[in-house]
Amino acid sequence: MNLVSQIQCYMTELLEHLEESVNMDSPSADKALNDEMMAWYKHLFIQLTNGTVERVPNDLYGDRLLCKLGEGSKRILIVGHSDTVWLKGEVARRPFSISDNKAYGPGVYDMKAGVLQAMYGMKALMDLGRLPKDKEVILLINSDEEIGSPTSRTWIEEEAKKCSAVLVLEPPMEPGGALKTWRKGSGRFTLTVQGKSAHAGVNPQSGVSAIEEISRQVLSLGAMNDYEVGTTVNVGVIKGGIGSNVVAAEAEALIDVRVKTMEEAERINALIHGLTSVHPEAILTITGGITRPPMERTDAIAELYELAKQVSLTELGEEVQEMGTGGVSDGNFTAACGIPTLDGLGARGDYAHSPLEYVMIDEIPRRAALLAGIVEKL
Ligand SMILES: [Zn+2]
């Protein structure tokens, strides 16, 4: 039996598990809820695959899981997360539902279905006796991905360095379900301007307007955008002043940066930190930097995609496409460590981080088979 048919046999059970997992709130900031989610995942992984699971304690966010299958010299890493962007109580408002071959509910697409696809894909390899003897498959699940993986970045990087390839369970690109072979890197900066307050009617000339200064800086930041190269600099929030009759003493801008290459990351970082005040008495303070390095499409990543394409032809009877995105994931970290990373191996659907999010049910066995087939052939 081929992988898709094998996973189709699990679908009734898989959908019950999907309903159960979607109906467990797991916002990144809530340790207790993510701990519960992890206990549930641990139990399920062992039940499905007879593999081993190590639960890694975390003081701040939910504990992490290292699920392992097989023992051998060829180590493959699969990366997923348990947390969602939805706060506690979202499930009560919007529980799991199915209509028209689509599954809905908080985090169903990003990425509760993706994690289950990985677990059932591994089960299929075991049940069909298709997990090569020399292969060790590791599935990492963290619970702080949606807030930038502050406590799991190093852990993921360390595990990735022990592996020959990394497969990330974030959703693919629609329409078509293309895999992600590159991702932009991202950075966050804060620009604070210190001016001097004065009475707007009595002595405005003795003040230094932080608002006027920051306005000029915003224009300089805007000029750093280069859509052709793929560099974007967005001032998304601006604050300042205390009243219309006061020359503003303070202003602040929050800046988001996206870049395709590390070289460009360094260039923009230097430009932003090198901003100087237009008004001689205004004082600029700049903090922040590139927080996620870009996942560049290296030759090794292109090779990994070629293998995925072959597997999709054999297992799904279609050629999976490749694309890139300005959105970031934990794949940015593993790729920046030099480990070939392929992303977008999660569930097909749409509307991540929106109440409209859904997963295409028919595609679940196909995508699980694609992932399992890649693991087998790597
Ligand atoms: Zn995600």
Question: Tens digits of per-residue pLDDT, 201-237?
Answer: 999 999 999 999 999 999 999 999 999 999 999 999 9
Can you give the CATH number for the domain in which 34 is found? Answer: 3.40.630.10
What separation in Å is there between the alpha carbon of 282 and the centre of ligand 1? 41
Q: What pLDDT, on a 0 to 100 scale, did the predictor assign at position 273?
A: 98
121 CA to middle of ligand 1, Å? 19
* Domain end marker among 292, 320, 344: 292
136 and 281 assigned to the same domain = no
- Bridge partners (DSSP) listed for residue 10: none
Residue at a domain's end among 232, 261, 292: 292
Alpha helices in the chain (DSSP H): 3-8, 11-22, 31-49, 90-93, 113-127, 153-161, 210-222, 262-273, 299-316, 331-336, 363-377
**Stretch 353-365: mean pLDDT:** 98
What is residue 1's predicted lDDT score, i.e. its pLDDT? 84
- Are residue 235 and residue 255 in the same domain, yes or no? yes
- Note whether 316 and 259 are same-domain residues: no
Instruction: Clarify whether residues 369 and 308 are in a common domain.
Output: yes
Q: Are 142 and 31 in contact (CB under 8 A)?
A: no
C-alpha 111 – ligand 1 centre gap (Å): 5
In terms of C-beta density within 10 A (0-12 exposed, 13-18 middle, 19 or more buried), how is residue 84 classed?
buried
Ion ligand 1, residue ranges at CB < 5 A:
110-111, 170
Question: In degrees, to the nearest 5, what angle opens at C-alpha 364 toward C-alphas 362 and 366?
Answer: 85
pLDDT tens across 360-371, in order? 999 999 999 999
**CA 329–ligand 1 middle distance (angstroms):** 7
Q: Are residues 47 and 155 located together in one domain of the fold? A: yes
Query: What pLDDT does 262 receive?
Result: 94
pTM (two decimals): 0.91
Per the structure, the count of domains in the chain is 2
* Mean pLDDT for the stretch of residues 111-132: 98
Average pLDDT, the chain: 97
Q: What is the pLDDT of residue 324?
A: 96
Torsion of CA 143, 146, 152, 155, to 10 degrees: 100
**At which of 275, 292, 309 does a domain end?**
292
Question: Is 19 a residue whose pLDDT tops 90?
Answer: yes
Query: How many angstroms is it from 80 CA to the middle of ligand 1?
Result: 8
Tens digit of pLDDT for each residue in 331-352?
999 999 999 999 999 999 999 9
Co-location of 131 and 197 in the same domain: no
Q: Residues 81-85: what's their mean pLDDT?
A: 98
> Do 273 and 301 fall into the same domain?
no
Q: Are residues 82 and 111 in the same domain?
A: yes
| 174 shares a domain with 129 | yes
Regarding whether 228 and 144 lie in a shared domain, the answer is no
CA of 85 to the centre of ligand 1 (A): 9
CA of 340 to the centre of ligand 1 (A): 19
Range of the structural domain that residue 190 is part of: 185-292
Q: What is the mean pLDDT of residues 131-158?
A: 97
